[in-house]
Amino acid sequence: MNSKISVPSRSKTALDFVEGDLVVGRHAVINGTGTPPTVKVSGRIYCEGHDTFECNLSAENLEAEDNVTVHGDLEIKNSVEVEDGRLEVYGKMTAKRVDVDAALYVTKDLAVEEVDVGGSLRVDGSVKAEDADVGGSFKAKGEVEADKIDVGGSVSIESKVDIEKLDVGGTAKVGGGKIREVDVGGSFESKDSLEFEQISVGGVVRLTNKNKGGSIEVGGSFKVEGDLEFKDIDVGGKVEITGSGEGYEINVGGEVKIGKSLELSGNLEVGGKVEVDEEVLAKNIEVGGVLRSQKATAEEHVKVGGSIITVEGATAHLVEIGRRGEARGPIKADQVVIGRDAHVEDVYGKKVLLRRGAHAENVYGEDITIEPNCHISGEVQYTGELRMNEHVSLAKEPHKVDTLPF
C-alpha cells in the first residue's frame, strides 16, 4: 500500500526522502536537507496552494490547487498541474506534461514534452518542447527548440530558435534561427538570419541579415535589413530589401524597394512603384506606376503604366509604356509599344509602334509605325518598312538603312 506524508497548513517542515505521496497544506514551507537542499518524493506531490519549496524537488507528479514556488530545480517524471494559480521555479524544470492555469516562470532551462499555460510563460534560460500552448504571452531569453508553439497573444524569444510551426495571434519576435512555418496575426520580427519555408503575417514583417526561405504572404509591409532568398512574395503594401533579393516571383500591391539587385526566375507584378538600385531581372515585369533601376531586363515583357527610369535601359522581348507614360534611358526590345501621349528617349526594336501623340528622341527599328500627332526630336532609322501618318513632327527626314545601331 502506498504511504503518504502530510504537511499542515502554515507550517515549516524539513524533509529529505518521501516514500509514497506528499500532501502539503496551504501556505506551507518545505525545506530540504543536504547540499544543495533536496527533497525527493517517490510518488505524487499534492499542494493545496500558496506553498513554497526551499530546495530542489523531484517526484512522479505534481498537482496544486493554487500558487506554488520552488527555490531550486524541479524534476517531475510525468505531469505537473496547477489548477488555478501560477508556478514559479527558481532553477531548471523538467517534466513530460505541464498544465498551469495562470502563469509559469522558470529562471533557468525548461525541458518538457507538452506545456499548456492559460496566461503567461516566461523562461530565462532555454526551452525544449514538443508542443507549447500559451493563452497570453511567451517570453524566453535562451534558445528555443520546439515542434509547435501556439500563443494567443505575443511571443518574445531573444536567442535563436528551431521551431517547426509558430502560430501567434498578436506579435512575435525571435533572435533568428529556423522556423518551418510562421503564422502570425499581427507583426513578426527576426533579429538575426532566419531560415523558413512559409511566412504568413497579417501586418508587418521585419527580417535582418542573410535570410533564406520559401513563400511569404504579408497583409501590410515586409522589410529585410540585409539579403533574401525566397520562393515567392505576396504583400499587400510595401516590400523593402536593403541588400539583394533572389527568388521566383513577387506580387505587391504597393511598392518594392531593393538596395542592390533583384533577380527573379518568374514574374514581378507591382501595383505602384519599383525602385532597384542595381539591376532587376525577371521573366515578366509589370508595374502600374514607376519602374526605376540601373537596368531592367525581362525574358518576355516589360509593361509599365507610368514611367521607366533607367541608366542602361529596359530590355525584353516586348516593352510597353502606358498612356501618358515616360521612359528615361533607352528601350531595347523585339517589339516596342509606346502609349498615347507618352514621352520616351531612344527606342531600339524590330517592331516599333508609337501611338497617337507620343514623343520620342530617336527611333531605330526594322518595321516602324508612327501614329498622328507624334513628335520625333532626333532621327528615325529603319531597315524594313516605315508607316507614318502625315501629321507627324520630325526633326530630320527618316532614313532607310542596311543596318541599325544596336
Q: How many domains does the chain have?
A: 1
* % the chain with pLDDT above 70: 99
The proportion of the chain whose per-residue pLDDT surpasses 90, expressed as a percent, equals 98
Confidence of residue 405 (pLDDT cuts 50, 70, 90): confident
The DSSP code sequence of 62-94 is EEESS-EEESS-EEESSEEEESSSEEEESS-EE
CA distance 109 to 90: 10
* Average confidence (pLDDT) over 59-71: 98
Half-sphere exposure of 206 (CA within 13 A, CB side): 10
Specify if 31 maps to a domain: yes
Residue 370 lies in a domain: no
- What's the rounded Cα separation, in Å, for the pair 85 and 259? 51
At residue 232 the predicted structure's pLDDT band, cuts being 50, 70 and 90, is: very high
Position 185 in a domain: no
* Overall average pLDDT of the 215-244 stretch: 98
Concatenate the DSSP letters of all residues of 336-404 into one string: EEE-TT-EES-EEEEEEEE-TT-EES-EEEEEEEE-TT-EESS-EEEEEEEEE-SS-EESS--EE-SS-
Residue 176, C-alpha cell as written in the block: 533568428
- Mean pLDDT, the chain, integer: 97
Q: Is the pLDDT of residue 233 over 90?
A: yes
Q: Does residue 323 have a pLDDT over 50? A: yes
Residue 36 lies in domain: 1-96
pLDDT attached to residue 147: 98
With respect to residue 74, please indicate whether it lies within any of the assigned structural domains. yes
pLDDT of residue 3: 85
Q: Is residue 44 part of a domain?
A: yes
In sequence order, which residues have a C-beta less than 8 Å from that of residue 165 and are 6 or more positions away? Answer: 147, 148, 149, 179, 180, 181, 183
pLDDT exceeds 80 at position 235: yes
- Tell me the mean pLDDT in the region 38-51: 97
Q: What is the pLDDT of residue 107?
A: 98
Alpha carbon 76 to its chain centroid, in Å, reads 37
pLDDT attached to residue 68:
98
The answer to whether residue 296 is domain-embedded is no
**139 by DSSP, 3-state: which?**
strand
- The residue to which cell 498544465 is assigned: 99
Q: Is residue 235 part of a domain?
A: no
Place of cell 547540499: 35
Q: Is the pLDDT of residue 320 over 90?
A: yes
Give the confidence band of 2 by pLDDT, cuts at 50, 70, 90: low
Residue 390 has pLDDT above 90, yes or no: no
Confidence band for 325, pLDDT divided at 50, 70 and 90: very high
Query: 372-403 burial by CB neighbour count: b if 16+ within 10 A, else e?
Result: ebbbbeebbbbbeebebeeebebeeebeeeee
* 296-323 burial: b if 16+ Cβ within 10 Å, else e: bbbbebbbbbbbbbbeebbbbebbbbbe
Using the predicted structure, report yes or no on whether residue 389 has a pLDDT greater than 90: no
- In the block, cell 525602385 appears at 275
> Read out DSSP for 160-220?
-EEEEEEEESSEEEE-SEEEEEEEESSEEEESS-EEEEEEEESSEEEEEEEEE-SEEEESS
C-alpha–C-alpha distance, residues 146 and 299, integer Å: 43
**Per-residue pLDDT, 406:** 67
- In the prediction, which pLDDT does 403 show? 92
Q: For residue 1, what pLDDT is reported?
A: 46
Tell me, yes or no, whether 356 lies in a domain: no
From its phi and psi, is residue 301 left (phi > 0), alpha (psi between -120 and 50) or beta? beta
| Residue 116 · residue 95 · CB < 8 Å | no
Distance CA(79)–CA(396), nearest Å, equals 90
Give the mean model confidence (pLDDT) for residues 140-147.
98
